[in-house]
Amino acid sequence: MRYDLFITGFGGQGVLLAGNLLSYAAIIEGKNVSFLPAYGVEKRGGAAMCTVVIADGEVGSPVIGRPSTCVYLNQTSLDRYGAKVKDGGVAIINSSLVDDSGWSRDDLDVIRIPMNRIAMDLGDARMVNMVAAGAYAAKSGSVALESLEQALKSVLPERNHRFIPANMQAIRAGAGAVQG
């Protein structure tokens, strides 16, 4: 199987971290993956974005013109990159910050999740990206939630392992929001 994902939001929402975490989880599962952050002038103006491709075989292009799934964490992202999702693809929207009522894409599977609210309810608004990662993992089936937990353990220094339970709660909440 082959999955491609585009995540976008503003700097500080942990867009790159979410992409990294999903990638690392895929590596733990023995899959191939490419993680391509936005670079260059696109990085300016506070926008953050990355493209992740997960594949059982060769990754092929790390650059995707029309990704099958896009995750929009803020309004500007949707306004700017709303047309990017592949026809018939999936859009996962942070409905706490994004109003998509004026958006005319009826070919998509649109999933609206109030990520900021969920993250705040769990105690830290900064976990929006974890909610998003959980939602994508559950929706796509690309990586297991256990792999995300394993990824957190592998990449976080020991002294920060105390944050893992809260982050996993956020990941599960994101996953739950997709299924619910």
Q: CA neighbours within 13 Å on the CB side: how many for 174?
A: 32
* DSSP for residue 110: E
C-beta of 46 vs 60, nearer to other proteins: 60
**179 and 138 in contact (C-beta within 8 Å)?**
yes
- Which residue in the block uniquely carries the two structure tokens 């990085």? 43
C-alpha pair distances (Å), 102 with each of 28, 83, 99, 123, 169: 40, 13, 8, 31, 32
- Among 46, 62, 141, 165, which residue interacts with other proteins (rule: CB under 8 A)? 62
* Residues linked to residue 8 through DSSP beta bridges, in sequence order: 49, 72
- Among 5, 7, 21, 133, which residue interacts with other proteins (rule: CB under 8 A)? 21
Q: What is the Rg, in whole angstroms, of the alpha carbon atoms belonging to the chain?
A: 15
Q: Does 163 bind other proteins (CB under 8 A)?
A: yes
C-beta of 13 vs 94, nearer to other proteins: 13
Site map 27..56 versus other proteins, x via CB under 8 A:
x----xxxxxx-xxxx--------------
Residue 141 Cβ vs other proteins, minimum distance, rounded to whole Å: 20
- Among 17, 120, 122, 168, which residue interacts with other proteins (rule: CB under 8 A)? 17
Q: Which residues bind to other proteins, rule: CB under 8 A?
A: 14, 16-17, 20-21, 23-24, 27, 32-37, 39-42, 58-66, 124, 126, 155-157, 160, 163, 167
